[in-house]
Structures are given as structure tokens and as C-alpha cells.
Structure 1
């Protein structure tokens, strides 16, 4: 039986641009552990705190103290329901989805390099 990893919708886009910059060592280590498990795991897409959020300082119980992740989750879920692929969202809808996120400038720089 495959391990199930619970991920927020927006983390589907964050995974591609994650380089560990700007995060605590604990968060980076945990994120990298999750990344290593993904190829063999089944993913359950959710809108609350997920496996990656476990070591996030903004986590308060099962919620994030920032409203931005919720907004981005809703956008990603909307585009998935409209039939867009993750690849299409990452390539052509990145700015539309992620603008407003505090990590947007870093992700944009990573994408352009």
C-alpha cells in the first residue's frame, strides 16, 4: 500500500520552485524529506495545513496564520476543476495564481534563471 501524503493545492506549484532559500533549516529539512517520498506516494489534495506545513512557523493548529495560502489554494483548485494540468498552471498561469504570495519574487527569479 502506498504512503499517502496530504498536500495543499498551492504546494503542487511550490514543489517545482523550492530551493530552500528564506526558510529555517528545520523547514528545509522537512520539505526535502517530503520531496524524497513523493515519487512513491499517493497524494491527497487538501486546503488546510498539510504534511509540508508541519514545521512551518505560521501554522496555528490545523490552519495557517496567513490568508494568502488559502487564496492560492482556491485558485489552483479552480483551475484544476477547469481541466488545466499542473504543467500548464506552472508554465502559463504562474503569475495569475501566485502573484501576491510573499515567495512570488523568489519563485519568479528561480523560474527565469
Structure 2
């Protein structure tokens, strides 16, 4: 199987500690993380992904908004620069321990956080990174 992720969720999953928009969102995110930890690869998608699924039944899910799409654009470029390969819809990525470590190091240094300002989780993600990603679920 394959986990479908939008580009900015590549950054979000680096600091995921079990907090989210709702209990359903957290339960779903836990399943996504378990799948990734189990070795499933990632398919980059444009728009809502496997993480967004519980939010899509809301009146106006933010995952359909312009701010989420803009975060995707910026995150895709940052991660592509880091990994040295294009990261567009349809691209596949294996999140092996080495790649995860590189992504976390870049996130900690601020190299891949250009998509993050203005996000409601910005402070939490910064604190998780500053703490060495110790409480993350992936």
C-alpha cells in the first residue's frame, strides 16, 4: 500500500506528537504514522490526502483552502532542494531512517520551515524540534 500525502504534510509528520484538530483527526493520523513506520511508501498528491480525510466532512475544511495549497508549494520546493529531486504530484518517496533524519535536521535548522509561518501548529512544532523530536510518533 501507499500513503497519500500532500507536500506540506511531509513537514508536519516530522513533529507529530499526537495532537490535532479532533480525536478523529488524531486517530487517523496515528494510523497514517503506523503505515509509514511499517514501511509503506509515500505518493505526493495535490490537495487533500490521507491525513486530511477526517476534516473533509466539515463545512469549510481548511485543507481545500488556498493557504494549504500555498504551504504545499513552498514545502515541496524546500524538500525537493533538500533531497535533490523534484517533488511534484505523482512523485514517490520512501521515508527510510536516513531520509527521516535528514528531514528532521533540516527542519530543526529552519531550512525547510518556510511553509510553516502562520500555521496554528508553528510553536508546537518548533518546541518538538527543539526537544530533539523525542515525543514524536514516527
- Settle same-fold status: TM greater than 0.5: yes
- How is 1:24-39 mapped onto 2 (pairs within 5 angstroms)? 24-39=22-37
User: Quick one: distance in 2 between partners of 1:91 and 1:29?
Assistant: 26
Higher fraction of helix: 1
Give the 4+ runs in structure 1 shifted more than 3 A: 57-63
CA distance in structure 1 between the partners assigned to 2:75 and 2:60 by the alignment? 23
> How far 1:77 sits from its partner (Å)?
1.4
Shift of 1:65: 4.2
Q: Equivalent residues in 2 for 1:27-106 (5 A)? A: 27-39=25-37, 40-56=39-55, 64-81=63-80, 83-85=81-83, 87=103, 89-92=106-109, 93-106=111-124
TM-score by length of 1: 0.79
TM-score (norm 2): 0.66
- When structure 1 is superposed on structure 2, of 45-54 and 96-105 the one drifting more is 96-105
1:1-51 C-alpha deviation (Å, 9 max, x unpaired): xx0111010111111111122431111111001100113212101121001
User: What is the Cα-based RMSD across aligned positions, in Å?
Assistant: 2.7
Count of aligned residue pairs for this structure pair = 110
Q: Is the 8 A contact 1:58 1:64 kept in 2?
A: no
CA contact (8 A) 2:7 2:44 kept: yes
Answer yes or no: is the 8 Å Cα contact 1:4–1:41 preserved in 2. Answer: yes
Offset of residue 61 of structure 1: 9.2
Q: Which runs of 5+ in 1 are unaligned?
A: none
